[in-house]
Amino acid sequence: MRANLYASLTWLVGLVGLSGAVLSPGVAMAATPQVPKVLSGVSAPEDMEPLPGGRALLLSEFRLPGSSRMSRLAVLDTRTGAVKPASLQAATDATKRWGTPDCLAPDPAPSWGGLSLTRTAGRGSRLLVVNQGSRTSIEAFAVSMRGTDLTLTWQGCALLPANQHPNDVAGLPDGGFVVSIIGDERHFNAPDGLTRLLSGEVTGYLLAYSPANGFHRLPGSEAATPNGVVVARGGQQLAFASWTGRAVIAYDLQQGKVTGRVALPISPDNLSLTLRGTVLATGVPSVAYVPACLGSGGVGAKCESPFSVMEIGLRADAAGLLPVKTRIDAPAGVINGATIAVELGRTLYVGAFTGERVVKYSR
């Protein structure tokens, strides 16, 4: 998930994957059991993005309640398993600042959430990150890679409208983005807010931003705790997860409407795109696992959650159902509170909002 649902909860094109099952409309096929490799040295790797060069992953490390570790952006070398923090620096040319004009400097105390790495004009890349530190915003960075050394140069931020609680972000070709809003003050500043957020009721929607027109709400995007979001097909289509709604939903940005959906046997958290144009959704069987996984900063918490990774196609059938198959069905204890799976070549990497590991499935 991506700032972050969990930060808020603390206070209150062959379509054959690792399992070998073919995508079927609205039907989850059984996955082949697999034994993963454990990569250590991380802290609550809640979201991940492949970095340019194809040999490293960018991790958004979630700060668990009760933990003394700060939220950071870190790089995982997929060949060696080494983890090191990204180097953050401010831009020297303020005239080229991205985002809203009321964002003047980097946040001195950020809390990182969802990630989105997109291409910019020319050969550059821009990283957008959900931030719920001393402000609620989408932060933008220019990306520079030398081997597995990552330098992120702050370009600006877009401050979100008041009382909007963001989760994930996906960049758009025009330099804008779509952000999932999981709820409002009823869910975050009320005695029964957490209960309502986890109830399965409709709590949020998608909010789009463009440099020319600012923010606007995407019509028909209302859902039960919107979570992960990705943009596909050159910026025309997106997919987003309804976390407590247990569904992934396809949305056409040009038509301004939902074009398909699929019900899942998990509560889907973050999403990622494959090179085939399909979507990977990762999550646990029930949001009832979340409080235990958050407890005591993840240290000694009674969090033994199984998880699944589902692969979803974005072309719906005549009934509006998206095709789906199961890539991984993992028992409790492999990785707890799984939130994200990223595919690199023939390997899947899975992260979580708790614990100190990424798990790696190879075929």
**Higher pLDDT among residues 34 and 11, named by residue:** 34
Rounded-to-integer distance, Cα 289 and Cα 336, Å: 9
Please report which confidence band the pLDDT of residue 13 belongs to, taking 50, 70 and 90 as the band edges.
Answer: very low
Structure tokens at 88: 């953050």
Question: Which strand (E) or helix (H) includes residue 185?
Answer: helix 185-188
Please report which confidence band the pLDDT of residue 93 belongs to, taking 50, 70 and 90 as the band edges.
Answer: confident
Rounded-to-integer distance, Cα 300 and Cα 261, Å: 37
For residue range 131-180, list pLDDT tens digits in order.
998 999 999 999 999 988 999 999 999 999 988 889 999 999 999 999 99
With a pLDDT cut of 70, the percent of the chain lying above it is 81
CATH of 5-362, one of 2.40.110.10, 3.40.50.880, 2.40.10.220, 2.120.10.30: 2.120.10.30
- Give 71's contacts (C-beta < 8 A, 6+ positions apart): 60, 61, 62, 63, 110, 111, 112, 133
**Beta strands in 147-218, from DSSP E residues, in sequence order:** 149-159, 165-171, 177-183, 205-210, 214-217
**What is residue 163's predicted lDDT score, i.e. its pLDDT?**
85
**What is residue 189's predicted lDDT score, i.e. its pLDDT?**
61
Given a cut of 60, whether residue 10 has pLDDT beyond it is: no
Lowest mean pLDDT among 123-137, 201-215, 219-233, 286-300: 286-300
Q: Which of 67-81, 118-132, 139-153 has the highest mean pLDDT?
A: 139-153
Structure tokens at 54: 């194809």
**What is residue 20's predicted lDDT score, i.e. its pLDDT?**
38
87-90/205-210 β-pairing: unpaired
Rounded-to-integer distance, Cα 106 and Cα 140, Å: 10
Say whether 125 sits in a helix, a strand or coil. strand
What is the secondary structure of 206-225 as a DSSP string? Answer: EEEEETTTEEEEPTT--BSS
**What is residue 61's predicted lDDT score, i.e. its pLDDT?**
92
Within 10 Å of residue 135's Cβ, how many Cβ atoms? 15
Four-CA torsion 110, 297, 283, 254, nearest 10 degrees: -20
Mean pLDDT of all residues in 85-90:
94
Rounded-to-integer distance, Cα 268 and Cα 241, Å: 6
Q: Domain ranges for the chain, please list them.
A: 5-362
- Whether 199 and 193 have beta carbons less than 8 Å apart is answered as no
Structure tokens at 311: 């692969």
- Give 168's contacts (C-beta < 8 A, 6+ positions apart): 1, 2, 47, 113, 114, 116, 130, 179, 180, 227, 228, 229, 240, 270, 271
Shortest CA distance to 269 belongs to which of 149, 167, 136? Answer: 167
For residue range 182-200, list pLDDT tens digits in order.
866 665 665 665 666 667 7
Amino acid at 198: L
**What is residue 178's predicted lDDT score, i.e. its pLDDT?**
98
Rounded-to-integer distance, Cα 116 and Cα 358, Å: 19
For residue range 218-250, list pLDDT tens digits in order.
999 999 999 999 999 789 999 999 999 999 999
Rounded to 5°, angle at Cα 105 from 271 and 353: 30
**What is residue 7's predicted lDDT score, i.e. its pLDDT?**
43
Rounded-to-integer distance, Cα 23 and Cα 20, Å: 10
Given a cut of 70, whether residue 277 has pLDDT beyond it is: yes
Structure tokens at 48: 């991940």
**What is residue 6's predicted lDDT score, i.e. its pLDDT?**
43
Rounded-to-integer distance, Cα 142 and Cα 111, Å: 19
Amino acid at 248: V
**What is residue 197's predicted lDDT score, i.e. its pLDDT?**
67
Mean pLDDT of all residues in 256-272:
97
